[in-house]
């Protein structure tokens, strides 16, 4: 059975699309999409041998070997330009997801939608993809098994600048917490940012005890103040 997290990722995949799932592990996501007749073709990409073999086995067992191509390689190197129109990358840090995308920008030609589920540091994606003219069209946040996950959906840009006119703290707040998630402020959102606030308070306390008045302290204080505003 697919996790609620991956089901939510799947819900943002346009019907009939051609998908690359990068870092696919067991290839659960492409198999689920195929099982529900949601997509016509998929690439399951994996850089590591163990997960690559798991993906191959799962795809063969599910009878999808002709429509899901399991490929071993780093990031977007497993796809050719124009081969897919949708890319999913889930269950990694925001920095790694960003680096995977930046490492293969030429592969994004013809891709209309990116569905990204960073485990941490979603702000890096909001920031960088806006620069690259990808428009943030949906955000979701959910709690499953005591963890809180964010899902960010970007469509190929129409030149609209989502953060135009915002600057300073307002911009930092939206990049950190998500402009769409901040409008709704659901239970998972509030819980996440209350946790993040407590983390910052703990760090500040330990820095104080260590008498370390430092750049680090200023940075954590800034984050704490932003989070307080996000919660208010």
Q: What angle do CA 149, 172, 174 make, to 5 degrees?
A: 50
**130 forms part of the interface with ligand SAM (CB under 6 A):** no
Q: Report the nearest approach of ligand SAM to the CB of residue 217 (Å).
A: 33
Of 75 and 94, nearer to ligand SAM (C-beta) is 75
Taking CB under 6 A as the criterion, the residue among 92, 141, 151, 177 binding ligand SAM is: 92
Instruction: Return the residue of 60, 74, 206, 219 that touches ligand SAM, per CB under 6 A.
Output: 74
Measure the CA–CA gap between 113 and 86, rounded to whole angstroms: 5
DSSP letters, 25-65, are TTTHHHHHHHHTT-EEEEEEEESSHHHHHHHHHHHHHTT-T
- 93 lies in the binding site for ligand SAM (CB under 6 A): no
Among the listed residues 11, 35, 40, 48, the single contact to ligand SAM using CB under 6 A? 48
Stretch that binds ligand SAM, among 42-50, 156-164, 165-173, 200-208 (CB under 6 A): 42-50
Tell me the torsion sign for CA atoms 216, 221, 226, 230: positive
Size of the site for ligand SAM (CB under 6 A): 17
Would you state the structure tokens that stand for residue 39, as one six-digit string? 């997509």
Residue 90 or 111 with smaller CB distance to ligand SAM: 90
222 binds ligand SAM (CB under 6 A): no
Considering the complex, state which of residue 72 and residue 185 has its C-beta at the smaller distance from ligand SAM: 72
User: What is the Rg, in whole angstroms, of the alpha carbon atoms belonging to the chain?
Assistant: 19
Helical spans, DSSP H, in the chain: 4-11, 28-35, 49-61, 94-102, 122-131, 168-177, 179-184, 187-209, 215-231
Nearer Cβ to ligand SAM, position 22 or 114?
22
Q: Does 23 bind ligand SAM (CB under 6 A)?
A: yes
For residue 32, give both structure tokens.
């689920």
Binding site for ligand SAM (CB under 6 A): 6, 22-25, 45-48, 51, 74-75, 90-92, 96, 100
């Amino acid at each position: 059975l697919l996790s609620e997290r991956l089901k939510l990722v799947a819900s943002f995949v346009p019907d009939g699309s051609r998908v690359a799932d990068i870092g696919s592990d067991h290839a659960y996501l492409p198999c689920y999409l195929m099982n529900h007749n949601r997509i016509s073709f998929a690439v399951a990409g994996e850089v590591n041998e163990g997960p690559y073999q798991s993906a191959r086995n799962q795809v063969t067992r599910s009878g999808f070997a002709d429509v899901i191509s399991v490929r071993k390689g780093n990031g977007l190197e497993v796809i050719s330009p124009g081969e897919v129109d949708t890319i999913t990358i889930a269950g990694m840090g925001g920095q790694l997801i960003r680096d995977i995308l930046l490492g293969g920008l030429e592969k994004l030609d013809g891709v209309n939608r990116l569905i990204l589920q960073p485990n941490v540091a979603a702000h890096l994606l909001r920031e960088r993809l806006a620069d690259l003219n990808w428009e943030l069209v949906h955000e979701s946040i959910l709690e499953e098994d005591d963890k809180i996950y964010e899902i960010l959906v970007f469509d190929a840009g129409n030149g609209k600048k989502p953060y135009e006119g915002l600057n300073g703290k307002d911009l930092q707040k939206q990049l950190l917490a998500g402009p769409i998630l901040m409008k709704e402020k659901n239970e998972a959102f509030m819980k996440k940012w209350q946790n993040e606030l407590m983390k910052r308070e703990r760090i500040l306390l330990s820095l104080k005890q260590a008498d370390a008045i430092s750049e680090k302290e200023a940075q954590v204080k800034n984050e704490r103040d932003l989070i307080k505003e996000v919660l208010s």
